[in-house]
Amino acid sequence: MTSEVVENEFEFYSKAEKYWKDVPATVDGMLGGYGHISSIDINSSRKFLQRFLRDGPNRTGTTRALDCGAGIGRITKRLLLPLFKTVDMVDVTEDFLTKAKSYLGEEGRRVHNYFCCGLQDFSPEPNTYDVIWIQWVIGHLTDNHLSDFLKRCRAGLRPNGIVVIKDNMAQEGVIMDDVDSSVCRDLDVVRKIIRRAGLHLLAEERQENFPDEIYHVYTFAMR
């Protein structure tokens, strides 16, 4: 539980904001020096996502996606824009969103909104998104804020839409990282928060071919 490791909520959020303000607005900066894993990450995410976009009665649409904790738009550029007509981005760091406008190039014209906001304060517009993609950012929310945010995401989905979380998973319990002011939860804790938000887990997958020294990374799809 984050309540056991986060002593001061205000400090938890403000310290994280300060940390990201000092991070270079590059792919390597977004990935904490692991820029070389970006293609492996994107290719796995694409395969995972495409199983929901295939033809069928419950097929997820491809009209609009939301990239949460979007940074400079690494995922928007390489995963979401090739699959969706329009994308919105939300990130707490204004400099990253400014950089995104040049990083995304011509295709960036299909990014309709750049929301500068922490996810604890962000509400997706109801009944708007086919896919809400949340990657490497849930550790910056307390359990209560994450659960509440996921409830708002559920309301933001169009029919057959999905919410996707892709993130680091601890082996056991909840681990605090004082450097970037984030937490890493184990699988059971994350699943409990998903259930608490009233979401139903559709798929869960462990990322393969990542460096041994980093946390295991899992992807969840839910609605």
Query: Would you kindly state where each structural domain of the chain is located, as residue ranges?
Result: 2-222
pLDDT value at residue 140: 98
Taking the domain 2-222, which CATH number applies?
3.40.50.150
* Predicted pLDDT of residue 2: 80
Quote the pTM value: 0.97
Helix or strand run (H / E) with residue 115 = strand 111-116
pLDDT score for 55 = 74
Q: Which residues are annotated as a binding site?
A: 69, 74, 91-93, 119-120, 135
pLDDT at 54: 85
Contact residues for 116 (Cβ-Cβ < 8 A; gap 6+): 90, 91, 92, 93, 94, 97
Q: Annotated binding residues for S-adenosyl-L-methionine, as ranges?
A: 69, 74, 91-93, 119-120, 135
Mean pLDDT by groups of 10 residues along the chain of 223 residues: 88 97 96 96 97 89 98 98 98 98 96 98 98 98 98 98 98 96 97 98 96 96 97
Using the CB atoms, write b or e for 34-66: b if 16+ within 10 Å.
beeebeebbebbeebbeebbeeeeeebbeebbb
Instruction: Check residue 43 and give its pLDDT.
Output: 97
